[in-house]
Structure 1
C-alpha cells in the first residue's frame, strides 16, 4: 500500500458541507478504525510539537482500551514521541485520505512489543480526492491558472489581486489565499471574478465561498484554501471550463503513460 504522504496538515476551518469531511460521532469513528484495522494499512505519524515523523501501523482498535499503534524501531525516538502533546496521523482507506490527532498517547510495552496507546480521536477528517483534488492545476508559470479576485478590505472597499487556482471543475474552484488580514466568511459572494485559463478566453463569474481549509506545509508556511462554487455561470463559460478540464486530464493521462 502507498501511504498518503505526510507533507501537509489539512484543517477544516468551516464548511456548509462539514459532515462530508468531518466525522464526529463516536460510534462512526470507532467503526472507521475497525475498518482501518481490517485493511492492515500503514499510517504516517508526526509528533506535535517536535515534528518527529515515523511510519506506523494500527495494531488494535478496542472499544474500551482505545487505539494501539506500532512504535518506532528507535527507542530514543519513541521516548521523544511519548513526550509530545499529540500525534498527527494520516492514512488512506479506499483512496480516501484519513487524518486525525491522537492525544494523551502513552508509550507502552504489551506482549513484549512497544507501542503507543491512546483514546479514540474526537474527530476524523476525510478527504476524497475526487472532491478535494478535482483537477490539480499546473504550477509552472507558463501554465499557471489564476483568478482575479476582489478581496474585501472593509467599508465596502475591495482590492483586486491574482490568486492561484489549486483545482477546478465545472462546478467551482479552490483558490489559495495567504492567511491574515482577509475576512472570508462562509457563504460570502464575490462579484466580478475572472478566471484566466491557458489557451482559453477569460471567464467572468461570481463565486460563493462554500468551505475554508487551512493548509500547513512541512516548513510551517500556511495558506488558506477556499472552496468556491460558481454562481450564475453562463453555458458558454461552463463549456470553456469543461473543455479546459478535459484537455488537462488528457495531458495528465498521456504523461502518466509516458507519451509526452
Structure 2
C-alpha cells in the first residue's frame, strides 16, 4: 500500500520528517481529535478519528463512515484529504484510496502513513504584498458586469484589492460567491469572498483610491494549497531581494 501523492518540495508549511509526522499523528490519535475526511473531489465528506498507527504495516487506521453507502463512496475515490486542528494549528494531509481492514474485530479503513503533513500556523494569515511588476487580479461580478481589480496583498485568510474607481463602496459586508482570482504562475481560481472593510488612501499625486479587505469563504483544499504555494514564492522572492539576490 503506497501513497499516490508525493510531497511538494517548495511548500513552506510542509513537514517531511518521518519522526515529526508520527509525532503529529500520534498526538491526533491520543487526543481523540475529530478528523475531517474528504473524498471524490470534496463530494463525499465524513468526520472520523484515528484508531491506530500501525508501524509494522506503515498505515494509519481510521474509523469507517456510519453509513455503508458513504464507505463505498470513499473506497471509490482516487485521492483523500484529511484535516484537523491540533493545539489551534490546522493540520492537513493527503492519502490515496483507502483500504478496508479489520481493527479489534470491527471494519475500519487504512491509508499509508503520509509522506508529508502540512501544518498551517497563524503565520499563514500574515499578508504578503503583491509586487507591481507581477500583478495579480480579482474579477468580480458587479451589476451583471465583470470588473477587474488589482491585488494589493494576500494571505491564507484573505486579500485586499485596489479600487481606483471607488466602484465597490456599496458592497461592504456582502458575499461575492463567484469571484475569479488570477495569480501569476499559479493559475486562476473561483473563490467566494466576503468584503469585510474599506479604507481610503491618498496617492502622492493627490488621487484617492480605496483598498478593500476581503475574507476567503470556504476555500477548497486544493485552492488553499495553491494560494499558500503562491505566497511562499512571493516570500522567497522578497527574502532574496533583501539579501541582494533579486
TM bucket by the smaller chain? 0.5 to 0.7
CA distance in 1, matches of 2:105, 2:22: 26
Aligned residue number for residue 30 of structure 2: 38
Q: Pick from 127, 132, 135 the counterpart of residue 149 of structure 1.
A: 132
Aligned residue number for residue 190 of structure 1: none
Q: Pick from 18, 21, 37 the counterpart of residue 13 of structure 2.
A: 21
Q: TM-score, normalised by structure 2?
A: 0.56
* Cα offsets for 1:119-162 (capped at 9, x unmatched): 1011111100x200137xxxxxxxxxx9683437xxxxxxx961
CA distance in 1, matches of 2:203, 2:29: 49
Gaps of 5+ in 2: 1-6, 136-147, 162-179, 187-197, 205-217, 240-246
CA distance in 2, matches of 1:150, 1:56: 45
Question: Could you tell me whether the CA contact under 8 Å between 2:14 and 2:119 is conserved in 1?
Answer: yes
Aligned residue number for residue 115 of structure 1: 108
Aligned residue number for residue 125 of structure 2: 133
Q: Pick from 56, 59, 71 the counterpart of residue 64 of structure 1.
A: 56
Which structure exhibits the higher relative contact order, with contacts defined as CA atoms closer than 8 Å and separated by 6 or more residues?
A: 1
Question: Could you tell me whether the CA contact under 8 Å between 2:74 and 2:98 is conserved in 1?
Answer: no
Alignment of 1:1-260 (within 5 A): 15=10, 18=11, 21-49=13-41, 51-65=43-57, 66-128=59-121, 130-134=122-126, 149-151=132-134, 162-163=150-151, 165-167=153-155, 178-179=181-182, 182-183=184-185, 198-201=199-202, 217-218=219-220, 224=227, 226-227=230-231, 228=234
Gaps of 5+ in 1: 1-11, 136-145, 153-159, 185-196, 204-215, 233-260
TM-superposed CA distance for 1:61, in Å, is 1.2
CA distance in 1, matches of 2:93, 2:60: 12
CA distance in 2, matches of 1:97, 1:219: 12
CA distance in 2, matches of 1:105, 1:199: 52
For the aligned residue pairs, the C-alpha RMSD in angstroms reads: 4.1
Question: Could you tell me whether the CA contact under 8 Å between 1:149 and 1:161 is conserved in 2?
Answer: no
- The 3 A distance-change label for structure 1 pair 49 and 221 is closer
CA distance in 2, matches of 1:69, 1:55: 10
- The 3 A distance-change label for structure 1 pair 163 and 55 is same
CA distance in 2, matches of 1:219, 1:122: 18
TM-superposed CA distance for 1:106, in Å, is 0.5
TM-superposed CA distance for 1:87, in Å, is 1.6
CA distance in 1, matches of 2:222, 2:60: 28
* Cα offsets for 1:88-146 (capped at 9, x unmatched): 00001111111101224212233342321121011111100x200137xxxxxxxxxx9
How many residue pairs match? The answer is: 173
SS of the equivalent of 1:30 reads helix
